[in-house]
Amino acid sequence: MVAVKLYVKRDDLSGKVYGGNKVRKLEFILGQALQKNAKGVFAFGFAGSNHALATAIYARQVGLQSVSMLMPQPNAQYVRNNLLVSHHYGAELHQYNNLRILYFGTVYQFLRHKLKHGYFPFYIPAGGSSPLGITGYVNAIFELKEQIMKKELPEPDCIYVALGTMGTAVGLMIGIKATNLKSRVVSVRVTGKEFAGEKKMMKLLHKTSSFLHSQDSSFPLLEFSEEEIDIRHDFVGAGYAQFTEKGMDAVSLIRSNEGLKLDGTYTGKAFAALLDDAKKGDLKDKVVLFWNTYNSRGFSDIFTHIDYHQLPHCFHKYFEENVQPLDK
């Protein structure tokens, strides 16, 4: 492997209670929910959703009820942990077998909450990747530029980040252009193409840029070209949340060398792409920033004391069936 100047943005420590990339998004989203006098919020994801867990934690802190609208996924230890911690923080948990059923389930739950509790919950898009939530990652680049100005790191040539619902990558790209940085965002797809891809990213870039300009006319109305989008599709493996050998090797490597905690669903695959590019010599003499979007705050004191039978029955299978073989 050739020499690479590698830095890590520690968003795994972005929150005192729970870190990861959802914290920056929820700061804006939950603020709007409170502004609209909401009493509860809907969070969408898969069974082990980090976004749903983060929403449960921070919604409770500001006095909002959190409702997790989830779909099935491959089993892993973190799925069990996230479900138990979500339950601990008072989230109302639901699971639906596919997107179509989830849609009808959402309509039903919205109406049920209105009839039972007297309010419609505030809707949060999957991953918090709305233009409002994405604003948190536009801000993150202003934060990064300040760190560059303080000489805490040189300006990166490229920034590697996991690509799920695309909000983090889109915010970084908009922030880079707004601050006149030259970094290139390398997005490593970890979800199905129905959730992430070049056309969807372009649409979200323009939508978010227009939103920011509408909120503040001094913020430039930015345009993007297809050449600015760099999505790696070769590291997703068999699908979302299906761990890969390269991904888990990357998780082990950075843990043993730097003590950093990555995961097999998102950041492990993103770091595997970085390692692969380094081995091929594509990053020779470049400054590389790896944006760690995974939470590293521990909850063992919580989930080890909760009986999974307290969860709705549809989630019991995650505790009664084996986790996938690569989940070490």
Q: What is the pLDDT of residues 241-288, one digit of tens each?
A: 999 999 999 999 999 999 999 999 999 999 999 999 999 999 999 999
Residues 246 and 272 in one domain: yes
What is the C-alpha to C-alpha distance for residues 206 and 203, in angstroms, rounded to an integer? 5
What tens digit of pLDDT does each residue of 225-238 get?
A: 999 999 999 999 99
pLDDT for 300? 83
Cβ count near 67 (within 10 Å): 26
- DSSP for 156-191, written as a single string: PSEEEEEESSSHHHHHHHHHHHHTT---EEEEEE-S
pLDDT for 116? 85
Q: For the chain, give the percent of residues with pLDDT over 90.
A: 92
Classify residue 138: in a domain, yes or no.
yes
Tokens of 103: 């849609």
Q: For the chain, give the percent of residues with pLDDT over 70.
A: 99
pLDDT at 296 over 60: yes
pLDDT at 152 over 80: yes
Confidence of residue 217 (pLDDT cuts 50, 70, 90): very high
What is the C-alpha to C-alpha distance for residues 8 and 171, in angstroms, rounded to an integer? 18
Confidence of residue 3 (pLDDT cuts 50, 70, 90): low
Classify residue 268: in a domain, yes or no.
yes
Residues 99 and 148 in one domain: no
68: CATH:
3.40.50.1100
Mean pLDDT in residue range 135-140: 97
Residues 106 and 196 in one domain: no
Could you tell me the maximum CA-CA distance found in the chain, to the nearest angstrom? 62
What is the C-alpha to C-alpha distance for residues 171 and 169, in angstroms, rounded to an integer? 5
Classify residue 28: in a domain, yes or no.
no
> With contact defined as beta carbons under 8 Å apart, do 268 and 143 qualify?
no
What tens digit of pLDDT does each residue of 4-18 get?
A: 799 999 999 999 999
Classify residue 305: in a domain, yes or no.
no
Classify residue 228: in a domain, yes or no.
yes
Pairing of strands 122-123, 287-292: unpaired
Residues 180 and 79 in one domain: no
Write down the residue that tokens 């490229």 correspond to: 158
Residues 104 and 193 in one domain: no
Residues 212 and 156 in one domain: yes
Mean pLDDT score across all residues of the chain = 95
Residues 11 and 58 in one domain: no
Mean pLDDT in residue range 166-193: 97
Residues 107 and 236 in one domain: no
Residues 139 and 286 in one domain: yes
Residues whose CB falls within 8 Å of the CB of residue 216, separated by 6 or more in sequence, listed in order: none
For residue 94, the enclosing domain spans 39-120+315-320
Residues 201 and 276 in one domain: yes
What tens digit of pLDDT does each residue of 15-71 get?
A: 999 999 999 999 999 999 999 999 999 999 999 999 999 999 999 999 999 999 999
For 321, the enclosing helix (H) or strand (E) is none
Classify residue 126: in a domain, yes or no.
no
What is the C-alpha to C-alpha distance for residues 258 and 223, in angstroms, rounded to an integer? 38
What is the C-alpha to C-alpha distance for residues 172 and 140, in angstroms, rounded to an integer? 7
Q: How many domains does the chain have?
A: 2
pLDDT at 2 over 60: no
pLDDT at 1 over 60: no
Mean pLDDT in residue range 215-232: 94
Q: Which residue has the higher pLDDT, 3 or 92?
A: 92
Classify residue 306: in a domain, yes or no.
no
Classify residue 73: in a domain, yes or no.
yes
Residues 218 and 166 in one domain: yes
The pTM assigned to this predicted structure is 0.94
103 CB-side CA count, 13 A: 2
Residues 113 and 154 in one domain: no
